[in-house]
Amino acid sequence: MNKNLMYSFKFNESTSMMNMNKLNDKMLMIMMMIIMSIMVVMMTKKSMLNKSMNENHIMETMWTIFPSFIILIMSAISIPILYTNNEMKMTSITIKIMGNQWFWSYEYTNFDIKFNSYMMYKKKFNFNILETDNKMVIPFNTPLMLIMSSMDVIHSWCMPSLNIKMDSIPGQMNSIKTKSNKIGVSWGQCSEICGTNHSFMPVMMETVTMKEFIKWVNKNK
């Protein structure tokens, strides 16, 4: 899709991002309904004098109760999405992601693989400040555990299509579970101002089939 025509979220790659897209649509619908009803009231009202609105207790009760109901509905549909990723109890692959000034390093603890991921400076066919020399490779439809930490300052590992944005903090381990449901390459960027080259430490991730992943592991071991 032409990126100039993208008005919505990125293509969803995980269940939680799919739910986020749906939530966005639902919230927009609620907002549209509110705007429409207010517009109808404003347009149908003949006079600007609101005599009947003075000390109108029924109306005041109504405009307290209805919005709180709307908020209740909104929280009921949005809170479960916060915990979608926690539904995966069993993860099969653990990837340790370390933030460095200014590159990412990845460690596949199950396979003894370790590499750094630097940005590729713009050449003819590279995506500007998005492509890296080594990319994180993950298998398709496999529950993963991502562990994040930092070597120096606070960074933030972000992958919008997976609905992940997690800080990597020195001396602290943050973890998140995820599962990719789309084969292909996706991009993200460091999302915490971490120094001069903050803009030049992108995240590049490729989802491949399990067969290809095993091939990649054997090649890089």
Gyration radius from the chain CA atoms: 23
3-state helix/strand/coil string of the chain: CCHHHCCCCCCCCCHHHHHHHHHHHHHHHHHHHHHHHHHHHHHHCCCCCCHHHCCCHHHHHHHHHHHHHHHHHHHHHHHHHHCCHHHCCCCCEEEEEEEECCEEEEEECCCCEEEEECECCCCCCCCCCCCECCCEEEECCCCEEEEEEECCCCEEEEEHHHCEEEEECECCCEEEEECCCCCEEEEECCCCCCCCCHHHCCEEEEEECHHHHHHHHHHHC
Q: Is 132 in the site for Cu ion (CB under 5 A)?
A: no
| Nearer of residues 139 and 202 to Cu ion, judged by Cβ | 202
Q: Shortest Cβ distance from residue 188 to Cu ion (Å)?
A: 11
Binding mask 154-173 for Cu ion (x = CB under 5 A): -x------------------
Q: Is 194 in the site for Cu ion (CB under 5 A)?
A: yes
According to the binding rule CB under 5 A, does residue 148 interact with Cu ion?
A: no
Cβ proximity to Cu ion: between 20 and 204 the closer is 204
Closer to Cu ion by CB, 138 or 148: give it.
148
**Residue with smaller CB distance to Cu ion, 162 or 203:** 203
Instruction: Mark the segment that binds Cu ion (CB under 5 A) among 7-15, 63-71, 110-118, 184-192.
Output: 184-192
Q: Which is nearer to Cu ion, 158 or 162 (CB)?
A: 158
For residue 190, state whether it binds Cu ion (rule: CB under 5 A): yes
Stretch that binds Cu ion, among 31-39, 69-77, 118-126, 188-196 (CB under 5 A): 188-196
Smallest distance, Cu ion to C-beta of residue 211, A = 34
Name the site residues for Cu ion (rule: CB under 5 A): 155, 190, 194
